[in-house]
């Protein structure tokens, strides 16, 4: 089996640090905002500002990458988040905190889009699924351990997690700058190379690309939005359980993710993307809709774990599909930015829409709607072509990464 190139390991390591930091400041951010004598809505706005700025600046990040390259944009994005996070630690009022956190969203979308571009161009064709699996696993590991460390750091003050995260990002920037070589090598070698920008219009003609956008939107809606914002409310208000048990439900989802992610990447490289994505979306759709019908915390935990299992199957595999479609000559462009925007749009709109439905029609309907969103993605994938290079090579002489 081909080994993963060194340059990709550098990116994967940095990804763990980045994800760790997201979780690191999560326990402190709402309370820190409330410390400036603002209400719950205003405190929530600080969290939303980060996601909104990511969404707004994603197209600009794609264009910037096309001009100056992923590596430079990645490093600048890391430094912007590091500086803005450190500034948050020294914010003297609510409005400063809101602005500094919003600026962090700009840097976040810069390194998110550029990291995806780097992985697409650096990963050898035959292990794209495995690389995507490692990338997703690193993000998951950071998100699981981050809140635990962040909760401990809060004991030293609400500003401490921001300082620690900023320092960690600066160290990650130094590692990437010194260990990831500048552009100039060949595609698939583990080092970035020159490429062309792929526009959204060019990629849109590929059914697999359209399916990727819809499933990434569904992932943002269900996993990053509804899971974080609505599931804890369901545990407390719908089941009448203690708020602490909401963490158990979310942990069960993460456990399901861990069980599936690594296997999904390897299976998709060997047996095709659709073979893994379709069952994953079926599991997520059914389990998410079923959660609204649960009436005991034990069943809810079990259903959450099953939903996490389904998510772990399709999320890394859809990233590998994106790489198949764009090919490792891609450099930035609106097609790559749109992938990031799809998830952010789902993460921003999902909690709002589903929260409104839950308050008016109940949690059962709210989770059914979320299951319906992922079911739409399933329908898109039913009509999408196979893109895995190994599978395509068996049936056609063309290249999997070629644009239609």
Which residue intervals of 207-333 are DSSP H helices?
207-219, 227-229, 231-233, 244-271, 273-291, 297-326
Domains and CATH numbers, the chain: 1-195 (1.20.1250.20), 196-404 (1.20.1250.20)
| Torsion on CA atoms 108, 253, 369, 19, rounded to nearest 10 | 0
Contact 281, 378 (CB under 8 A): yes
Contact 274, 384 (CB under 8 A): yes
Work out the angle at residue 326's Cα, subtended by the Cα atoms of residues 320 and 332, and round it to the nearest 5 degrees: 105
pLDDT value, residue 184? 40
pLDDT value, residue 59? 85
pLDDT value, residue 378? 96
Consecutive H or E run containing 25: helix 6-25
Of the CA atoms within 13 Å of residue 336, those in its CB half-sphere come to: 36
State in Å, rounded, how far the first CA of the chain is from the last one. Answer: 30
Work out the angle at residue 115's Cα, subtended by the Cα atoms of residues 113 and 119, and round it to the nearest 5 degrees: 120
Check residue 398 and report its DSSP letter.
S
The span from the CA of 333 to the CA of 322, in Å, is 13
**C-alpha distances in Å from residue 279, one per residue of 209, 216, 285, 286:** 19, 16, 10, 11
Q: Which residues contact 367 (CB under 8 A, 6 or more apart)?
A: 226, 234, 288, 289, 290, 291, 292, 354
Q: Which of 301, 299, 306 lies closest to 284 in space, CA to CA?
A: 306
Q: Which residues contact 166 (CB under 8 A, 6 or more apart)?
A: 82, 83, 85, 86, 89
Mean pLDDT per 10-residue run, the chain (404 residues)? 80 86 76 80 76 86 82 92 94 92 91 86 83 83 75 80 90 87 49 62 90 94 80 84 79 86 86 93 96 93 94 90 79 79 87 85 92 96 88 54 45
For residue 133, report the phi and psi dihedrals to the nearest 5 degrees. Answer: -65, -45
């Amino acid at each position: 089996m081909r080994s993963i190139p060194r340059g990709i390991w550098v990116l994967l390591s940095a990804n763990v640090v980045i994800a760790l930091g997201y979780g690191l400041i999560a326990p402190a951010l709402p309370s820190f905002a409330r410390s400036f004598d603002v209400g719950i809505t205003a405190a929530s706005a600080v969290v939303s500002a980060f996601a909104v700025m990511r969404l707004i600046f994603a197209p600009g990040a794609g264009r910037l990458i096309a001009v100056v390259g992923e590596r430079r944009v990645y490093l600048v994005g890391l430094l912007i988040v590091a500086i803005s996070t450190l500034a948050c630690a020294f914010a003297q009022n609510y409005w400063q905190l809101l602005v500094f956190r919003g600026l962090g969203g700009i840097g976040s979308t810069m390194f998110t889009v550029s990291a995806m571009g780097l992985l697409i161009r650096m990963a050898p064709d035959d292990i794209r699924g495995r690389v995507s699996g490692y990338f997703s696993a690193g993000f998951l590991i950071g998100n699981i351990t981050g809140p635990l460390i962040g909760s401990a750091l809060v004991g030293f003050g609400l500003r401490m997690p921001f300082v620690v995260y900023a320092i960690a990002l600066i160290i990650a920037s130094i590692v990437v700058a010194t260990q990831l070589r500048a552009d100039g090598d060949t595609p698939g070698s583990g080092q970035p190379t020159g490429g062309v920008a792929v526009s959204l219009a060019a990629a849109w003609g590929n059914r697999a690309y359209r399916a990727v956008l819809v499933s990434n939107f569904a992932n943002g809606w269900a996993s990053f939005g509804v899971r974080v914002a609505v599931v804890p409310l369901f545990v407390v208000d719908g089941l009448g359980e203690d708020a602490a048990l909401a963490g158990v439900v979310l942990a069960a989802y993460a456990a399901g993710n861990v069980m599936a992610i690594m296997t999904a990447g390897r299976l998709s490289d060997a047996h095709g993307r659709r073979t893994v994505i379709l069952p994953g979306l079926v599991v997520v759709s059914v389990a998410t809709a079923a959660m609204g019908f649960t009436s005991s915390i034990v069943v809810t935990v079990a259903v959450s774990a099953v939903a996490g299992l389904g998510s772990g199957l399709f999320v890394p595999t859809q990233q590998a599909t994106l790489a198949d479609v764009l090919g490792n000559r891609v450099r930035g462009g609106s097609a790559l930015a749109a992938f990031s925007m799809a998830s952010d749009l789902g993460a921003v709109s999902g909690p709002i829409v589903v929260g409104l439905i839950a308050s008016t029609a109940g949690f059962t309907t709210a989770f059914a709607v979320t299951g319906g969103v992922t079911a739409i993605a399933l329908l898109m994938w039913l009509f999408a072509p196979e893109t895995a290079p190994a599978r395509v090579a068996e049936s056609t002489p063309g290249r999997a990464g070629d644009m239609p």
